[in-house]
Amino acid sequence: MMKTENQTLANQTAVVTGAGDGIGRAIALRLAALGAEVAITDRDLAKAKETASLIAAAKGKAITTELDVTDIAALPGTVAKLAGALGRIDLWCSNAGVSSMKRFVDVSEADWDFNVDVNAKGAFFCGQAAGRQMLTQTRREDGLRGKIINIASVAGKTGKAAFLSHYIASKFAVVGMTQAMASELSPDGITVNAICPGYVRTSMQQREIDWEASLRGLTPEAVKELYIKDTPLGRLETPDDVAGVVGFLASPQADFMTGIALTVSGGAWME
């Protein structure tokens, strides 16, 4: 259930991709709790509506629209539609992501395309469409036209993870594009940052646990314990752990941060 918090994002608007469940849903709930009107987007519109209903039940404001981040041709029209419905887009969070696991020598072109098309190409062109919209917007009192937040992964900072070479490539791309986007857009009042979560407890992670168990010849419970052992804080990360940092980056406290990839992993990756 969404808890009402200090309304640091009152009168602001936000768009979250892949917000039908998992990390995206937690992000949408957090932003709404902070006072933003949130556009819940997902390729599964029914799930997007479930997230919106949770926000509405907590007296927050949300709209929904179907969005497949791999449909690049449709992105400009969808962003224009969202900007029209919201009035402007103060925050764009590219959260939609996928994963699969295979040994490096077994990764196919289809495996590569599946991960890169959503995680890297999708985030790139979503950010482009959002950036174009923000450039048309007047600067707010804080001097900004908007903020873009990309959800990357600790896999975007270290390649030391078995069976994820194609996923790692896609997330390294997200960290790099975040810096490039920030370099070009920040002078025009648009900040761009990324968040790099660790072992987040979601349905996607459960699939990864099952895949890794099969690849390693272990039980799923044993793999889960490996993840926890690799996390100094001693537990799996939750979607709310990620959402809290999105709320911070969206807040005025982070207005002078851009081009940063914040690691939020319970110590699973230390820089």
Question: Which structure tokens are listed for 18?
Answer: 């892949």
Helix (H, G, I), strand (E, B) or coil at 94: strand
DSSP-based three-state secondary structure for 269: coil
Which DSSP string corresponds to 218-231? Answer: --HHHHHHHHHHTS
DSSP 8-state symbol, 5 = -
8 A C-beta contact, residue 191 and residue 182:
yes
SS3 label, residue 232? coil
Kindly name the residue from 121, 167, 199, 227 that is annotated as catalytic: 167
| Per annotation, catalytic residue among 171, 199, 224, 227 | 171
Active site residue 199: no
157 is catalytic: no
Sequence-ordered strand ranges (E) for the chain: 13-16, 37-42, 61-66, 91-94, 146-151, 190-197, 261-264
| Residues noted as catalytic | 167, 171
